[in-house]
Amino acid sequence: MKARAQYRAFIDEHVMPVEERLFREDDEAEALLLDLRARAKAEGLWAPHLPPEAGGTGKGFLAYADLNEEIGRVTWAQYVFNCQAPDAGNGEILHLFGTHEQKERWLKPLVEGEARSFFSMTEPDVSGADPTGLRTTAALDGGEWVINGRKWFSSGAEGAAFGIVMVVTEPDADPRRRMSQIIVPADAAGLTIEPVPILGHRGRGWTTHCEVTYSDVRVPAENLLAERGAGFLIAQKRLGPGRIHHVMRWLGQMQRAFELMCTRALEREAFGSPLAEKQTVQNWIADSAAEIQACRLLTLDAARKIDEGGDARVEVSLLKFYAADVLSRVIDRAVQVHGALGLTDRSPLSHMYAQARGAHIYDGPDEVHRMVVSRRIVQAFADGDGWSFS
Ligand SMILES: Cc1cc2nc3c(=O)[nH]c(=O)nc-3n(C[C@H](O)[C@H](O)[C@H](O)COP(=O)(O)OP(=O)(O)OC[C@H]3O[C@@H](n4cnc5c(N)ncnc54)[C@H](O)[C@@H]3O)c2cc1C
């Protein structure tokens, strides 16, 4: 069986039937999730975002885009197959930048699914959209980094074994060389973690978004990832792939919302005919089909370019804001076709709707990605080269 079909069969058989119970995010849901993870791992459906040399089963971005059409259908599936944010991105940077010892200590248990992690960059007191102003510091003292500051929206921090924190280590350097990334065990003295409830999740362990305070937190000097001042470079390596991974999953969400919309439009009658025969609903179906297919083709194009060694910076930014809009629009139309049912826990659409809102903000707000796309294209014209996507 093809890999995509294997993932689809697993999700249809094991995940879809318990989706509503997983959304309760209680003890039973946690036990169910652990059970599903063990089963997925035993079947070799595991860590498909990472290449085999990093301990995963991945075969590149294009192949991963294909799998995510299935994985993305159910928000819980990423946890089942151990490719959830932020562990996926942390695994990638540990694989790319970690020393042998760091990989053994932090990456291995992450890929094995024995530990979880968080990525601590955004701060409450300064703009996350413009991370050059981040304030959390780390200074070397007797062979140890001493970290002080406050972060928030560190996803998954509750119950995680460690985090990767973005800190100012070079205060006098150029703005893009001021930061470094340091690995911090979650049980370090002086570190506190407090979940901040957020739209779309009851919030427990995996799905928390946390405020993390660092008060004289001391970690060994060798916990530095790559060299001093490389924080932004690593962040770009992490966030570029991370953004396209999000969009790949959103495609699964869009497609599912679309299928739910079409099915309901056929089944439900009003004013003497099925909703599918009303012009407005037909427009929603046609527009959604066009927009989803556009996102799919943009995703495949960017994935191919990354597989070929490019960073596809413009392509990924363009995709991030465009796909977030399509995701919101398609789910919204599907909710509307379902009427009040679409707002209840009896339909997955209510959860999908709530979770889609964050897509416009996390890993860079829409406006910043529009700015990046526009700046790069205009610069190419200013340089006399013009712009082409080929
Ligand atoms: C579900 C979720 C998960 C997250 N997970 C993590 C995580 O694991 N780790 C982490 O460190 N962070 C995480 N974040 C934080 C996220 O990355 C930040 O929220 C994001 O970068 C924006 O930063 P901010 O919230 O400080 O908004 P601000 O920087 O305060 O921006 C507010 C608004 O200003 C506007 N704006 C900003 N710049 C411009 C511009 N140039 N032009 C026009 N308008 C502009 C935008 O509308 C933006 O939404 C998460 C956020 C969410 C919602």
pTM value? Answer: 0.95
What is the 305 CA–ligand 1 centroid distance (Å)?
27
pLDDT at 201 over 80: no
Please give the pLDDT value at position 203.
75
Cα 183 to ligand 1 centre (Å): 22
Nearest to 39 by CA among 89, 91, 92, 79: 79
Q: What is the pLDDT of residue 372?
A: 96
pLDDT over threshold 90, residue 214 = yes
Task: Check whether the bond before 86 is cis (ω within 30° of 0).
Answer: yes
Q: What pLDDT, in 10s, does the model give residues 354-368? A: 999 999 999 999 999
Q: Report pLDDT digits (tens) over 46-94.
A: 999 999 999 999 999 999 999 999 999 999 999 999 999 999 999 999 9
Q: What ligand 1 atom has the least distance to the C-alpha of 123?
A: 26
pLDDT for 275 equals: 98
User: For 229-265, what is each residue's pLDDT tens digit?
Assistant: 999 999 988 777 789 999 999 999 999 999 999 999 9
Q: What is the C-alpha to C-alpha distance for residues 155 and 196, in angstroms, rounded to an integer?
A: 10
Residue in 153, 372, 374 to alter for ligand 1 test, most ligand atoms within 8 A of Cβ = 153
| Distance (Å) of CA 45 to CA 41, 117, 316 | 6, 21, 26
Q: Distance, CA 130 to ligand 1 centroid (Å)?
A: 9
Query: How remote is the CA of residue 365 from the centroid of ligand 1, in Å?
Result: 5
Residues near ligand 1 with C-beta < 6 Å? 86, 119-122, 127-129, 153-155, 209, 358, 361-365, 367-368, 371
Amino acid at 26: D
- Per cent of the chain over pLDDT 70 is 100
Is the pLDDT at 202 greater than 80, yes or no?
A: no
